[in-house]
Structure 1
């Protein structure tokens, strides 16, 4: 059956569950992350769909295992490209990783990917969770701060941060990669990193509605690598008709199901 074009805003994921993730790809030259697809957990398993603009971003090198830009891929088990990004449950360091991500031992695969980003060394793929928006317009989102290694003095500040510490958001209009970039800083405006590019529009909407609250969920030591150094939680409100990850950039392409 032929599927129609759609936006995430048509059928938002349940606000209390992390069941829908943006699949993003980092350009090797600009280092900017571009959304290229959607990974969802369904009642029958898992589904991956390219965004309409994915071909323009990836060109002749589609993601491994997803060679056809014009199809919806469905499977009972998590696709190998994403399953390989999960730590083996038998690994002795797994409990420490879960603690660093503020997760418990019962966390499912999409929860783990949403919280960790699913990044691998030398890899260009990162997964970003769709923020939760509730019926009353309240919203919340947990995300890892990007670019900690490029923020001068961040290591010292991070060593002092504790869960619940308030943080602030600053515009970074002079950013050479993305003039809409938003800096994450401590209350003294010391920069700690940046909001992930796919979340910038969402964070902008939260800020426009006033009472945005950003705080530390977890500040990890250097042994976890720069990518996992700072996990933060943003809470606030958005316009009644706003949905994250919607609009032209997030439009799904016309596709037909392909069960694998």
Structure 2
């Protein structure tokens, strides 16, 4: 499976609001490749996407599939330079998959989200960038706290096991003064939970970038880093069965 130039696709069930990893998009030398993952078989409510109705088939295209292309902001839009700046990318060298991976490819009309695979280095270490979730639901004091953060500021991960919507939820806390400033994305929550309960010294989070002029979902970017210590029973992030390709 390609580690770089790829993105996972997650779908939220309208019935129980649970998220499932249902697809994997890769960029190849000749174009793009899409496969469904085992997560697409976990909910009876999931309907395959138009033009890609067979779950066990590999789809190949010279151009980016419409499902993904329609989630890219046109470079001709006047807000595009700011959008790329909020993502922490360079407009002159950014690929469509990089934009989808960093932005999530979010649209208000459906329940789909994209994210990059956590790449494990040879020494079993990793770095992963994401935007903090839930800022729009926080108090004014928390939002003010976020606006004063600086790149490199250390943050803290906290289990939110009594969360009625997601018992794997992970809060993010700032220090001095101590204040909750949002949540980790749900696609990372289960893996972070494993770290916090078995090897909490080997996972860290810090501020990567704050964009106070951005919409709330792009305002605070964090860097999650750590190292997989297999002696503690930890497996690589995103290694569960739902991430595996059906066609393999």
Common topology (TM > 0.5): yes
SS of 1:177's equivalent? coil
The yes-or-no answer on 1:214 pairing with 2:200 is no
Q: Given the alignment of the two structures, is residue 149 of structure 1 paired with residue 136 of structure 2, yes or no?
A: yes
Three-state SS of the structure 1 residue aligned to 2:10 is strand
Say whether residues 1:182 and 2:166 are aligned partners. no
Question: Can you list the C-alpha shifts for 1:68-95, whole angstroms capped at 9, x where unaligned?
Answer: 2221111121111101111111222111
Matching residue of 2:54: 68
Q: More deviation in 243-252 or 102-111? A: 243-252
Taking the aligned partners of 1:58 and 1:45, their CA distance within structure 2 comes to 31
Q: Does 1:162 align with 2:153?
A: no
Higher RCO (C-alpha 8 Å, min separation 6): 1
Structure 2: state its 5+ residue gaps. Answer: none
Change (3 A) 1:48 1:189: farther
Residue of structure 1 equivalent to 2:110:
123
Number of the residue aligned with 1:253? 246
Q: 1:39 matched to which residue of 2?
A: 25
* Secondary structure of the corresponding residue to residue 98 of structure 1: helix
Could you tell me how far apart the structure 1 residues matched to 2:98 and 2:149 are? 24
Q: CA deviation at 1:175?
A: 0.8
Query: Which is further off, 19-28 or 137-146?
Result: 19-28
Structure 1: where are the runs of 5+ without partners?
A: 1-10, 256-260
* Residues 39-63 of structure 1 deviation map (CA, whole Å, 9 limit, x = unaligned): 1112322111111231433636323
Higher mean displacement: 187-196 or 86-95: 187-196
Change (3 A) 1:58 1:94: farther
Change in CA separation of 1:60 and 1:113 when aligned onto 2, cut-off 3 Å? closer
Partner Cα distance (1:36, 1:45) in 2: 21
CA RMSD of aligned residues (A): 2.2
Contact 2:159–2:193 under 8 Å retained in 1: no
The TM-score, its normalising length taken from structure 1, stands at 0.83
1:57 is paired with a residue of what secondary structure? coil
* TM-score, length-scaled by structure 2: 0.87
* Partner residue, 2:9: 23
Provide closer, same or farther for how the CA distance between residues 192 and 58 of structure 1 changes in structure 2, counting only shifts above 3 A.
farther
For 1:56-135, what aligned pairs fall within 5 Å after superposition? 56-57=42-43, 59=45, 61-105=47-91, 106-135=93-122
Distance 1:148 1:31, change over 3 A: farther
2: CA distance, partners of 1:179 / 1:41:
34
Distance in 2 separating the partners of 1:79 and 1:230:
29
